[in-house]
């Protein structure tokens, strides 16, 4: 009996000591030909070349209970649920990984290709341009799936450590005008979050760094609408710099809640490189500084689709829009009137809220769409004892997600942006509370296991 107990506790200790396995992969997703880019409706032609290759990167992490969490990052403007749901279904069928355990994030570069079903009213394509968009979407889906499979095939025993740095080039962009309205500009006193989370993945066998995951709450828009070459913008340059400084490691970038944050200054390749270098230096300072904290504990994931409602609209709202001088607004009006004709006007959407925890040592809280900084600030305030990384632009791209403050102030993030995402208008005033009700539920689920 005593021998059996000794063997039992020895086995338990070995299991506890095992920690995590992880694998990482990166595959190129640069379009093979010039095509229309996304992010800026003022563009008048397809891309003209490649400044930087674009990548999909997959980091798969598995705990001792064989719970697997996969983080997929992309150099793209956004990933709508039409793409992420299809990939998730394939992953669940092939690898038995649930949807809640998959995190898809787009860096929101505005110098990437147009992604099908995202920013649906931005352009009206010719048949040939639409064919390119459709073909790229299928190639993208296959490549993302293959990247996940490659990361799962490369699993090995690893140590995970975490730290946080800072980078200062993000600035609040909601500038208040003399008449009380808000425009996109520079608001140096507006809310910001300059934190730079850093997760390091190190092979136990070789002691080499396999992956470095980081993030930042800032629009990936140093390169403005006059640039026509594909690139990952500052986030792409940051990842290249991190990989150059750490040979053999794959650098992954998560854009956080940066919907109302812009890089400052911007509008040149030199500035994109400068901001990328600043972010990479912030990451390296964490890697080279005080010992990073070990990550430990079981992986637990929860995903909920919260129902968000739109402010009241009528058919007449969109009949008036048909006379707009803004082509995207006319396209949005036609879409909404078609829904009225079908007797199915859009009144609400389902919105992804996800939490993934590593025991009590680290939690990722992910939100869909272009999320303003208020959500990150509030989440960290509501969960002060949790080592929390709040990630936007994840799992779906329904459009901008304003806080109640931003919604009541109005402006692009609250109202005008909905035109380009093909949404009927602003959200109802309870949007923030509906999201945080779901946040509390998923956080409770991952903290109770």
- Residue 162 and residue 247 share a domain: yes
* Residues 213, 333 within the same domain: no
Q: Is the same domain home to 169 and 316?
A: no
Identify whether residues 201 and 332 lie together within a single domain: no
Is residue 435 domain-resident?
Answer: no
Beta partners for 162?
199, 293
The token duo for 91 is 């992953």
3 domain residue, yes or no: no
Is 106 in the same domain as 179? Answer: yes
- Dihedrals phi, psi of 4, to nearest 5 degrees: -60, -40
Confidence of residue 7 (pLDDT cuts 50, 70, 90): very low
Tokens 């009949």 identify what position?
A: 319
Q: Which of 312, 351, 364, 355 is nearest to 435 (CA)?
A: 351
* Number of separate domains in the chain: 2
Model pTM score: 0.95
Same domain (yes/no): 46, 150: yes
- CA 337 to chain centroid, in Å, comes to 31
Q: How far apart are CA 209 and CA 325, in angstroms?
A: 54
Shared domain for 25 and 162, answered yes or no, is: yes
- The CB density around residue 296, as the number of other CB atoms within 10 Å, is 16
Q: Please indicate, yes or no, whether residues 315 and 369 belong to a single structural domain of this protein.
A: no
Q: Do 258 and 289 share a domain, yes or no?
A: yes
Is there a single domain that holds both residue 192 and residue 328? no
Q: Is residue 409 part of a domain?
A: no
Asked if residue 230 and residue 96 are part of one domain, the reply reads: yes
Judge whether 56 lies within some domain: yes
Residues in the chain: 449
Token pair 């993208």: residue: 140
Residue 227 belongs to a domain: yes
Please state whether beta strands 195-203 and 156-166 pair in parallel, antiparallel, or not at all (unpaired). Answer: antiparallel
Range of the domain at 321: 311-341
**For residues 257-286, average pLDDT:** 98
What is the structure's pLDDT at 1?
43
Question: From CA 348, how far away is CA 259, in angstroms rounded?
Answer: 21
Look at residue 298 and tell me whether its pLDDT is greater than 80. Answer: yes
Q: Tell me: the pLDDT tens digits for 192-212?
A: 999 999 999 999 999 999 999
DSSP H or E stretch at residue 355:
strand 348-358
For residue 378, being part of any structural domain is answered with: yes
Do 165 and 209 reside in the same domain of the chain? Answer: yes
Q: 369 lies in a domain?
A: yes
3-state secondary structure at position 69: strand
pLDDT in tens, 378-430: 999 999 999 999 999 999 999 999 999 999 999 999 999 999 999 999 999 99
Q: Residue 337 to residues 76, 153, 324, 327, 340: CA-CA distances in angstroms? A: 30, 48, 15, 15, 5
Would the pLDDT of 11 be above 70? no
Q: Let me know if residue 362 belongs to a domain.
A: yes
Residue 13's pLDDT band (cuts 50, 70, 90) = very low
């Amino acid at each position: 009996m005593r021998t059996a107990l000794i063997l039992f506790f020895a086995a338990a200790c070995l299991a506890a000591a095992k920690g995590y396995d992880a694998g990482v992969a990166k595959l190129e997703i640069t379009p093979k030909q010039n095509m229309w880019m996304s992010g800026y409706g003022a563009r008048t032609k397809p891309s003209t070349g490649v400044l930087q290759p674009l990548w999909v990167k997959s980091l798969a992490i598995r705990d001792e209970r064989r719970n697997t969490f996969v983080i997929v990052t992309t150099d793209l403007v956004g990933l709508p649920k039409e793409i992420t749901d299809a990939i998730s279904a394939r992953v669940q069928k092939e690898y038995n990984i649930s949807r809640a355990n998959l995190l898809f994030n787009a860096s929101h570069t505005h110098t990437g290709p147009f992604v099908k079903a995202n920013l649906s009213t931005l352009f009206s394509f010719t048949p040939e341009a639409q064919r390119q968009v459709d073909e790229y979407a299928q190639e993208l889906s296959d490549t993302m799936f293959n990247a996940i499979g490659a990361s799962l095939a490369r699993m090995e025993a690893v140590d995970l450590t975490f730290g946080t740095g800072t980078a200062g080039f993000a600035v609040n962009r909601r500038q208040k005008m003399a008449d009380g309205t808000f425009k996109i500009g520079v608001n140096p006193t507006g809310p910001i979050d300059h934190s730079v989370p850093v997760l390091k993945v190190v092979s136990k066998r070789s002691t080499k760094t396999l992956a470095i995951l980081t993030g930042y709450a800032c629009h990936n828009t140093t390169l403005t609408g006059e640039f026509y070459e594909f690139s990952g913008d500052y986030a792409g340059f940051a990842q290249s710099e991190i990989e150059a400084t750490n040979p053999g490691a794959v650098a992954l970038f998560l854009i956080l809640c940066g919907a109302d944050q812009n890089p400052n200054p911007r509008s040149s390749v030199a500035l994109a490189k400068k901001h990328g270098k600043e972010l990479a230096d912030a990451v390296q300072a964490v890697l080279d500084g005080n010992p990073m904290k070990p990550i430990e504990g079981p992986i637990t994931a929860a995903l909920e689709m919260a129902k968000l409602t739109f402010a009241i609209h009528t058919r007449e709202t969109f009949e008036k829009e048909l006379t707009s001088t803004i082509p995207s607004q006319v396209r949005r009006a036609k879409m909404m009137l078609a829904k009225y004709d079908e007797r199915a006007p859009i009144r609400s959407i389902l919105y992804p809220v996800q939490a993934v925890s590593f025991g009590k040592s680290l939690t990722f809280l992910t939100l869909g769409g272009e999320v303003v900084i208020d959500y990150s600030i509030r989440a960290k305030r509501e969960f002060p004892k949790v080592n929390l990384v709040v990630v936007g632009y994840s799992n779906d791209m329904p459009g901008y997600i304003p806080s109640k403050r931003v919604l009541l102030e109005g402006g692009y993030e609250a109202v005008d942006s909905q035109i380009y995402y093909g949404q009927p208008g602003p959200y109802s005033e309870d949007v923030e509370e509906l999201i945080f009700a779901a946040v509390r539920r998923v956080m409770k689920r991952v903290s109770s296991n």
